[in-house]
Chain A
Amino acid sequence: MSRTTSISFLFTKLVSERAENELSDWLLAGFSTGSFEPLWLHDEPSHNNQLKHLFDDISPNLKAKFKRAVICASIEWHITGYSHKVLRDIAILSAYVKASGIVKVLQTKLESDELDRLKGDRGQTPDSYYDLVQILIAVLRGFLPKKDVGVLFKRLFFSETFDPRFAGQLLLGLCECDPENYTLYLPRFMQLEAKYHGQFLLHYIAAEMERIITLRTAAAKINKLDSKYQEEFLKTFCSYQWSPANLIYDPQFGYALTSRRETFQTERQVFPIKSKMSICWQAKVTEMRCSSGAVEWIRSFIEDYRNRLMKVKTEDEKTRGKE
């Protein structure tokens, strides 16, 4: 029997023969010491990854049992008995094996004051509280659009006491739950960004937000944003995928962006904007070749478009009058 086969065999035997609470103890001990006897795991990939691969090869019944053991381990974890890294690893393993029961456990831990005890070494970078909570939120995001997660994220995001350093993650999580309502969350994030300037990597958040809410939704709902945030949104968030440099690949953009005005949406019925605008847009993007001045250009584009639209309507009316 080769080593690979024997580890796989040993894992199957272990999961089938041990009770859930024994497996849970085995996981806690393994993540605490790095030794998962009777298995001997490689130094890399991570133990979580190796356990996930072993998990993939067991039967559905054993998979369900192993998932329950993972959840049990997360419940058993307590701050006085284990390092924060153990909960970090168990949470990551639950994400890899899709043990959705972890959501309730992490919800309780994040909303209780248990993890606050880790803040003792705050000031160091990264401190244990930060190191753990960023991972727990990233794990929870993997279970979206689960309703419980959305509700939890909303509470944390709008909480005055929750650490604002996680606001970028929470914003994206909330957008994943409810992309149509991104305008509800963006102002709070922008306020936090202004207050803790430099804390967030806006280019990453912008790129992720563009992926999550999609251009069409962003454009369709932008008028729900307070005007002072509209400009900020265009300037900050239309910076990666939607920057003029990239828009050449998306001829629908001009259409989507200008249709944010309800009047335009009505009027587009009489104006073949789709094809004309895409040609116009592409020409402009090619000319600009960079994202600087994007906001000004978008604004002038809209004005120009409105004028052209008015001109067509006036000419139409004149023609009708003559008839």
Chain B
Amino acid sequence: MPSVRNWCQAMQRSAEGRATLSNILHDCQESRLPSKTLKEFFGDIALAWNRRRRTQLPETIQRSVQLSKPNDYCCKGPDISGDSVECSRVMSLADLIEKNIDVAKIPFAITGHLTNNQVELLEKFGFSGAATNTMRTARPFAWVTLGNKFSVIYAGTKTANVARKLLGMTHFQKDEHLVEIRYPKGVFRSGGLFAPTFLDGCPSLVYRSTVSSDGWGRAVDLDTLANALPEAVHEEINFTDDFKLRNLGRLKPLARPFDWSALLGTFKYPWKASLYKVLVPYV
């Protein structure tokens, strides 16, 4: 299908685009996604490419495809056993207030900031009947890490910065206030936890598809680019009072943009135009 080939050619012009293509290559080579999902995805890319406007970037096309079928293009990687795992999500405090707190009950003003005392209240009192909506991002899924591995970040100070580094979260670029949301034990007992794939992590995140012995993905360490903390995704689930909050503090803005070219050298299957043939069975 020439449209998909053209989309790949447009993507490979930027380092970020080549990172996305390397992840696609990895997930095809390692059979981490059902071939039906891949075929549907490339079919939608082809349609969107043919309808594109002159100024539309290839990343925007991928994004619009993923947004058009939000449930079809997330959490499609291999299942992870969630029997006894303790999961944590690191998220922006402002987002939590915006989306997951009933502010008629926990009566904070919406300004984008909370005082330290207010965050302490949330830690101390919990959600007390004011937890609302679901745990998700702009798409109907969220990222989590393993709670017991994540606790290492509390060993030192500047916990928010360490969390960002070990979870590869360059999308928190400014001085966001981060919190750890601890999931209730056994919330994934009946399934719902998946190893991430390019459909979850691309085109916007610092993400590298990885196969590990425990089934979890691995975040990219922002300093060393080595594998860092375990990561997984889950479909949106109800946010309840059983979730707990821990304050991570305010981030220091990122000093420099992330070096995408350096990341390209760390992929198991780095993208080359000639490797398009790997995608052909799904196109």
Residues of A whose CB lies within 8 Å of any CB of B are 2-5, 33-35, 37-38, 40-49, 52-53, 56, 92, 95-96, 126, 130, 133-135, 137-139, 141-142, 144, 165-166, 168-169, 172-173, 200-201, 203-205, 207-208, 211, 240
Contacts and interface: CB of A to CB of B under 8 A. Distances in A.
A181 B104 CA distance: 22
A201 B110 contact: no
Interface stretch (B27-35, B39-47, B58-66, B186-194): B58-66
27 contacts: A2-B257, A2-B258, A3-B16, A4-B257, A34-B67, A40-B57, A40-B63, A41-B138, A41-B204, A42-B205, A43-B137, A43-B139, A44-B95, A44-B137, A44-B138, A44-B171, A46-B95, A56-B174, A95-B110, A130-B104, A139-B110, A142-B110, A169-B104, A201-B106, A203-B128, A204-B125, A208-B118
A53 B174 contact: yes
Contact of A135 (B14, B103, B106, B258): B103
B41 to A, nearest CB: 17
The interface centre, meaning the residue of B91, B98, B104, B117 with most chain A CB atoms within 10 A of its CB, is B104
Nearest to B111: A142
A303 B8 CA distance: 83
Interface residues of B, number: 52
A35 B102 contact: no
Nearest to A33: B67
A34 B204 CA distance: 15
A73 B99 CA distance: 21
Nearest to A46: B95
Interface string B256-271: 0110100000000000
B173 interface: yes
Contacts of B111: 95-96, 142
The interface centre, meaning the residue of B60, B64, B102, B107 with most chain A CB atoms within 10 A of its CB, is B107
Contacts of A204: 105-107, 121, 125, 128, 130
Contact of B110 (A44, A56, A92, A126): A92
A26 B132 CA distance: 29
Contact of A38 (B55, B108, B130): B55
Contacts of A240: 121
B47 to A, nearest CB: 16
A43 B204 contact: yes
A137 B99 contact: no
Contacts of B148: none
Nearest to A131: B132
Contacts of A37: 56, 60, 64
A239 B110 CA distance: 25
B102 A126 contact: yes
Interface of B: 14-16, 55-57, 59-60, 63-64, 67, 91-92, 94-95, 98-99, 102-112, 115, 117-118, 121, 125, 128-130, 132, 137-139, 170-174, 176, 203-205, 257-258, 260
Contact of A5 (B64, B105, B132, B257): B257
Contacts of A95: 110-112
Contact of A45 (B57, B109, B132, B176): B176
Nearest to B140: A43
A291 B51 CA distance: 67
B130 A201 contact: yes
B94 A38 contact: no
B56 A49 contact: no
A49 B16 contact: no
Nearest to B200: A43
The interface centre, meaning the residue of B57, B105, B121, B260 with most chain A CB atoms within 10 A of its CB, is B105
B92 A45 contact: yes
B57 to A, nearest CB: 7
A134 B104 contact: yes
The interface centre, meaning the residue of A47, A49, A126, A203 with most chain B CB atoms within 10 A of its CB, is A49
A134 B100 CA distance: 12
A134 B107 CA distance: 9
B109 A141 contact: yes
Contacts of A35: 63-64, 67
The interface centre, meaning the residue of A33, A92, A173 with most chain B CB atoms within 10 A of its CB, is A92
A256 B102 CA distance: 34
Contacts of A142: 109-111
